[in-house]
Structure 1
Amino acid sequence: MTLITTDARTYRLLPLRFMRMNSESEHDILLTSDTGEYLHVSDAQLQALSHYQLRPDTPLYKDLLARHFIYEPGRHDPFPEMAAQLRSRKDFLFQGPALHLFVVTLRCNHTCQYCQVSRAPLGGSGHDLSEHDARAAVERLFESNAPALTVEFQGGEPLLAFERVRQIVEWVVERNIIEQRDIQFVITTTLHHLTNEILDFALLHRIQFSTSLDGPASLHNANRPTPSRDSYEKTVRGIQWVRERLGHDSVAALTTLTSRSLEQPQAIIDEYVNLGFSSISLRPLSPYGFASKGAHRLDYPMERYLEFYKEALAYLLEINRQGIYLAESYSSLLLKNILTPFSSGYVDLRSPAGAGTAALVYNYDGHVYPSDEARMLLEMGEDGLRLGTVHQPLPELLASPVMAALLASGVAEALPGCSDCALVAYCGADPIEQYARQGDPIGHRAFSSFCKKNMGLLKHLFGLLRESDDSIQRVLLSWLNRRAFSDVRVPGYRG
């Protein structure tokens, strides 16, 4: 590399961050910008850059100029283009909450060990969303200015309160004749209580289904027990039934990983392949509700999860190379943040945080929460994250002290440990998880599982993008072009 040592600086530095990737490559340092541009450089190149010693006729200089790490005063004005890029990455800030979750009941027939919400018996009373509260929640839904709205029904088991689901859908459809929004309906369910009547209604209103599938029968039944001990069989039967009536892509599945799951990455993936899914979401346990109480049996260190994830991802990439399309949803979202000028829109990867600004939860008791995770903190004796009730106007809910506290601790670019991290442009802030794990919405990044997970996964993906052969690169790029509807859901399903 040729250096110059002149006081006549031809370029100026733009804001950048850097991180050592601990790889075998000479170009081990990752440079990133506020707009999400990145470049791999060597130690010597970083030294030369910072001491204004790069020659303008070198490829590195031209790359740095094109990716907005440097600019030439009087000759090159990068700021309008950078502003447009940043606006694209943060365009979600111009919209109100787009994801609206209706918890229509707490009743459920499962006794899942990792469940994060309280369960009520099938015949219990006082655990269903009232008609009065449901009507008010629909009003709040349309007070958002988001042009596209997702209405998701959760529980418990929402199909046990299907009449309320029916009412809400019909009210939304009727109101939307005037509103003219793009509405998507999703029912998050075990599929065990499906009927022809429910499927007829779903067909009429293009309702999609999301369910849990934790892997092969032995694993699924162990994680998600029912009194009849046939949870897996009923779930698979429900998947097939939905596909027969509504189409193959009308049902998506999510897996939650317990400690026993981490021993079976290939078996879990093979199950999704055998059932013809096009995406799989390899989600770690979250620190809420009953899952936190059973942590000694179910949980694992984040390092162990990352080992599992890398092994599972290698297997996924291999079967994709063999012609079987199966994308890992979270990797797809991270890749979109890395490789495109747009945000994935995923709630957990937003900064400012998506809780409340992107999603709202209308609980069965009429209270409103900024996210499903905030609702789940009830099971840990914490109700301080309520925004209010469904009978308060949306502007009042979003101006609550809770939202002020979440936003104050939910801008990753301003958080200690995040503000100078090279990965902050691709990551997000999750003050509710920090609060659940550390008792503080800002938390300490050195002890943050959220940070360890995203840093580990992002560094691994950057390594794959730089070092893998063309076939792996093509697989990763293909995951950007197709996605299941579950990819943009809030990660709140625990039913």
Structure 2
Amino acid sequence: MIITEKSTRKFNDENFYVNEISTYFLLPFRFLKINESHELIVNDIGDFMITPIGTVKQIVNRTFSKNENTELYYDLISNFIISESEKPELLPVIEARYRTKKSFLDNFTSLHIFVITLRCEHTCHYCQVSRVTENKGAFDMSFSDIDEGIKLMMQSPNPNVTMEFQGGEALLAFDKIVYAVNSANDQAKKFNKNITFVVCTNLAPITDEIIEFIKINNILVSTSLDGPEFIHNKNRRRPGNNSYEVTIEGINKCKNQLGQDRVSALMTTTSLSLHYPKEIIDEYIKQGFSNIFLRPISPYGFAKYNPKKNHYFIEEFLEFYKQGLNYILELNKNGQYIVEDYALIILKKIFTPFPVGYVDLQSPAGLINSVIVFNYDGYVYATDEARMLAENKDYTFQLGKLGSNSYNEIFYGDKSLEISDIFTNESLAGCSECAFQTYCGADPVLNHATQGDMYGFRPTNIFCKKNMEIIRYLFDLMIQDKNNEKIFKSWITGYNL
């Protein structure tokens, strides 16, 4: 081998790196290929640009000139991708925008879930909470634990708190709900809290007396509707096999007496559901709903033990989701206003500077920071999914016990600190460099349940696979058709096109 020039490990003079064509500074950004012709560039506060493939390479290699790409150049500056000065002149604006994105942390925990009973008269094959039969009163929350839960809720620094009653079937312990609402209202006056009440129910036990109490106390009603009769009754069994009929009757009764906006419904996607996205959406429209949340099954409770009805690959759900979203967009274009709620949550993160209240898409994660769960037996958990794990003897996310542990021990104790080490996606491998980081969140509970540790492994992570593809697809839809973007923005503003 002939060496013609002596090699050196010294850096070249700084002038060697100066490009006469483009002299600008790179600000922090991430990027991803959206489709065969476009790529996405996103900065730390969620501002984005959709550009032709190869744009990022040109920006980094500084192979485009300001004169030849004037519009692109100034778009990059206005979106805080590049800067003409080493320290951007609008740095205070970036700082303020970042603080706004994270402002959900300002007041700490808002949602306080009271698992008022584990009893239920349904036997849903995907039940996440391992319900017990209706007559087992030992599985109701005690009055003393209700008092202790309210005491902790009043210690939250958040002036606006939500008290949500879950089960089992919450209305089977209606006397406990009455006690809890009356007690919380009394305490709210002392601690100057604004309380939003929510009851999650299948509506089977609903009576005129219950509806009257709900109306007087301005309680929101959340129920389950999995689709048309043949799907709902297969998914959500009860004696008489009439869950659908009972649910629809309850929905109509509540809407008539409480108002259309006081009743919401959630669906769960089972193996059966995968084949009928249009029929499920049509059912929601038929029942007068303008929103639907297309959500996958959760790997907790009884949902894990019936693979024929409950197991499917995340890729199958994503295909179902895309078919459903495309159908919803088609309906909107034809004058039928209906919103897909999961897309809406993501779109708000994409198009607005404000945080969203959906705990699964927050970073730091919503567990503890936004939600806490008081179980029927008095134990406290980081999330609703965490207490579901506990029903299968996995107490990884148990934070303490009502009446035994103080507010500081529960919210700032060793277990909370352990979780906090890995609940921020900005510092997680595979998330820190992801273009969708600002639109996504962190879910240590799901990581633990599906991968065996709270940190998780992004390449095989179902949370990551689901969110990455849905977010990518939303951008792809906007590239394909500008009308899709108009529809998406109409969902954010609440105005039908």
Normalising by structure 2, we get a TM-score of: 0.93
Aligned-pair distance for 1:43?
A: 4.0
Is 2:204 aligned against 1:188? no
8 A contact 2:22–2:64 mirrored in 1: no
State the SS of the aligned residue for 2:250. Answer: helix
Task: Name the aligned partner's letter for residue 168 of structure 1.
Answer: A
Is 2:127 aligned against 1:115? yes
Of residues 444, 450, 464 in structure 1, which corresponds to 2:457? 444
Aligned-pair distance for 1:393?
A: 2.6
Report the Cα distance in structure 2 between the residues aligned to 1:32 and 1:213, rounded to whole angstroms.
Answer: 37
1:456 — aligned with what?
469
Query: Which entry has the higher C-alpha Rg, 1 or 2?
Result: 2
1:275 — aligned with what?
287
Report the Cα distance in structure 2 between the residues aligned to 1:33 and 1:76, rounded to whole angstroms.
Answer: 14
Report the Cα distance in structure 2 between the residues aligned to 1:373 and 1:482, rounded to whole angstroms.
Answer: 31
Aligned-pair distance for 1:79?
A: 1.6
Q: Deviations over 1:234-280 (max 9, x none)?
A: 00000011011111111100000001101001110010000000110
Task: Name the aligned partner's letter for residue 249 of structure 1.
Answer: D
Task: Name the aligned partner's letter for residue 411 of structure 1.
Answer: T
Give 1:170-189 correspondences, 5 Å limit: 170-189=182-201
Report the Cα distance in structure 1 between the residues aligned to 2:141 and 2:111, rounded to whole angstroms.
Answer: 18
Task: Name the aligned partner's letter for residue 405 of structure 1.
Answer: E
In structure 1, stretches of 5+ residues that fail to align are 484-495
Give 1:182-221 correspondences, 5 Å limit: 182-221=194-233
State the SS of the aligned residue for 1:126. Answer: helix
Report the Cα distance in structure 1 between the residues aligned to 2:455 and 2:466, rounded to whole angstroms.
Answer: 17
Report the Cα distance in structure 2 between the residues aligned to 1:235 and 1:433, rounded to whole angstroms.
Answer: 30
Give 1:396-435 correspondences, 5 Å limit: 396-435=409-448
Is 2:297 aligned against 1:285? yes
Report the Cα distance in structure 2 between the residues aligned to 1:151 and 1:81, rounded to whole angstroms.
Answer: 36
2:6 — aligned with what?
none
| Cα distance change of structure 1 residues 6 and 98 upon mapping to structure 2, 3 Å threshold | same
Q: Deviations over 1:356-403 (max 9, x none)?
A: 111010000001101000000023320121100122232221112221
Give 1:333-348 correspondences, 5 Å limit: 333-348=345-360
Aligned-pair distance for 1:5?
A: 7.8
RMSD: 1.7
Report the Cα distance in structure 2 between the residues aligned to 1:482 and 1:292, rounded to whole angstroms.
Answer: 37
Report the Cα distance in structure 1 between the residues aligned to 2:375 and 2:252, rounded to whole angstroms.
Answer: 30
Aligned-pair distance for 1:75?
A: 8.4
Aligned-pair distance for 1:31?
A: 0.8
Is 2:370 aligned against 1:358? yes
Report the Cα distance in structure 2 between the residues aligned to 1:393 and 1:139, rounded to whole angstroms.
Answer: 10
Report the Cα distance in structure 1 between the residues aligned to 2:117 and 2:422, rounded to whole angstroms.
Answer: 31
2:7 — aligned with what?
none
Report the Cα distance in structure 2 between the residues aligned to 1:477 and 1:44, rounded to whole angstroms.
Answer: 28
Is 2:266 aligned against 1:254? yes
Report the Cα distance in structure 1 between the residues aligned to 2:203 and 2:493, rounded to whole angstroms.
Answer: 29
8 A contact 2:360–2:443 mirrored in 1: yes
| Cα distance change of structure 1 residues 197 and 11 upon mapping to structure 2, 3 Å threshold | same
Report the Cα distance in structure 1 between the residues aligned to 2:213 and 2:349, rounded to whole angstroms.
Answer: 36
Task: Name the aligned partner's letter for residue 160 of structure 1.
Answer: L
1:40 — aligned with what?
50
Aligned-pair distance for 1:355?
A: 0.7
Of residues 398, 402, 405 in structure 2, which corresponds to 1:386? 398
| Cα distance change of structure 1 residues 75 and 367 upon mapping to structure 2, 3 Å threshold | closer
8 A contact 2:223–2:264 mirrored in 1: yes
Structure 1 stretch 77-86 or stretch 232-241: which is displaced more?
Answer: 77-86
Aligned-pair distance for 1:482?
A: 3.4
8 A contact 2:25–2:86 mirrored in 1: no
Structure 1 stretch 178-187 or stretch 414-423: which is displaced more?
Answer: 178-187
2:165 — aligned with what?
153
1:167 — aligned with what?
179
Q: Deviations over 1:182-229 (max 9, x none)?
A: 321110000011111111111111001000000011110000000111
Report the Cα distance in structure 2 between the residues aligned to 1:345 and 1:185, rounded to whole angstroms.
Answer: 16
State the SS of the aligned residue for 2:295. Answer: strand
State the SS of the aligned residue for 1:40. Answer: strand
Task: Name the aligned partner's letter for residue 198 of structure 2.
Answer: V
8 A contact 2:117–2:169 mirrored in 1: yes
Normalising by structure 1, we get a TM-score of: 0.93
Aligned-pair distance for 1:344?
A: 1.6
Q: Deviations over 1:53-102 (max 9, x none)?
A: 44334111101100101112278423211111110110011121100100
| Cα distance change of structure 1 residues 266 and 408 upon mapping to structure 2, 3 Å threshold | same
Kindly tell me the number of residue pairs found equivalent between the two proteins.
Answer: 476
8 A contact 2:381–2:400 mirrored in 1: yes
Is 2:259 aligned against 1:242? no
Task: Name the aligned partner's letter for residue 152 of structure 1.
Answer: E
State the SS of the aligned residue for 1:256. Answer: coil
2:65 — aligned with what?
55
Task: Name the aligned partner's letter for residue 457 of structure 2.
Answer: H
8 A contact 2:271–2:308 mirrored in 1: no
8 A contact 1:338–1:426 mirrored in 2: yes
Report the Cα distance in structure 1 between the residues aligned to 2:158 and 2:427, rounded to whole angstroms.
Answer: 26
Large movers: runs of 4+ above 4 Å: none
Report the Cα distance in structure 2 between the residues aligned to 1:204 and 1:332, rounded to whole angstroms.
Answer: 31
1:295 — aligned with what?
307
8 A contact 1:413–1:424 mirrored in 2: yes
Report the Cα distance in structure 1 between the residues aligned to 2:457 and 2:485, rounded to whole angstroms.
Answer: 35
Q: Deviations over 1:112-160 (max 9, x none)?
A: 0000112222121310000011001001111111122111000001101
Task: Name the aligned partner's letter for residue 152 of structure 2.
Answer: R
8 A contact 1:116–1:379 mirrored in 2: no
Higher relative contact order (CA 8 A, sep 6+): 1
Of residues 234, 237, 240 in structure 2, which corresponds to 1:225? 237
Q: Deviations over 1:402-434 (max 9, x none)?
A: 212221111101111111111111000001000
Report the Cα distance in structure 2 between the residues aligned to 1:257 and 1:76, rounded to whole angstroms.
Answer: 47
8 A contact 1:5–1:53 mirrored in 2: no
Report the Cα distance in structure 2 between the residues aligned to 1:42 and 1:248, rounded to whole angstroms.
Answer: 45
8 A contact 1:353–1:406 mirrored in 2: no
1:491 — aligned with what?
none
Q: Deviations over 1:313-339 (max 9, x none)?
A: 111111122222211110000000111
State the SS of the aligned residue for 2:199. Answer: strand
| Cα distance change of structure 1 residues 74 and 371 upon mapping to structure 2, 3 Å threshold | closer
In structure 2, stretches of 5+ residues that fail to align are 1-16
Report the Cα distance in structure 2 between the residues aligned to 1:311 and 1:289, rounded to whole angstroms.
Answer: 28
| Cα distance change of structure 1 residues 74 and 399 upon mapping to structure 2, 3 Å threshold | closer
Report the Cα distance in structure 2 between the residues aligned to 1:371 and 1:277, rounded to whole angstroms.
Answer: 28
| Cα distance change of structure 1 residues 75 and 59 upon mapping to structure 2, 3 Å threshold | farther
8 A contact 2:292–2:339 mirrored in 1: yes
Aligned-pair distance for 1:460?
A: 0.4
